[in-house]
Structure 1
Amino acid sequence: MDKKSRDYEVCLCYHTTRGEIEDIIKETGVQDLKTLCETAKVGDKCGGCREDLQMILDDMAAESEN
């Protein structure tokens, strides 16, 4: 599945989708990975999703600049 899809499962440990992460970022205004992991309750088990979580943060920051 495309990593840009809202249905893409970012965190396999907690079954969290990109859409859910995007919504959390929009609702809370979180801008850094550590706070996103704490707020969304992801990225603290195996850590395999952290790179994708950072990519989503970067993508959304770029979108808000446009």
Structure 2
Amino acid sequence: MDKESRDYEVCLCYHVTRGEIEDMIKENNIRDLKTLCEVAKVGDKCGGCREDLDMILSEVNS
């Protein structure tokens, strides 16, 4: 699946999609990765999604 799709599963450990992440960033006015990980409850198990999370965070806030 395309990483740009809102249905793309960013966090495989917790099954969180790009769309859910984008919505959380906008709804909570999140500006940094640490806060995003805490609010979305992602990125703390294997850490494999952190690069994608950071990229999405930058795109939403640009």
TM-score, structure 1 as length reference:
0.92
Cα deviation digits, residues 11-64 of structure 1 (max 9, x gap): 0000000000001001100110000000000000000000000000011112xx
- Which residue in the other structure is 1:31 paired with? 31
Gaps of 5+ in 1: none
Q: Distance in 2 between matches of 1:61 and 1:38?
A: 18
The 4+ residue runs of structure 1 with deviation greater than 4 A are none
TM-score computed with the length of structure 2 as normaliser: 0.97
Task: Give the 5 Å matches for 1:1-66.
Answer: 1-62=1-62
Q: Percent identity?
A: 77
Q: Distance in 1 between matches of 2:35 and 2:18?
A: 16
Work out the number of aligned pairs and report it. 62
Which structure's CA Rg is the greater one? 1
What do you get for the CA RMSD once the two structures are aligned? 0.5
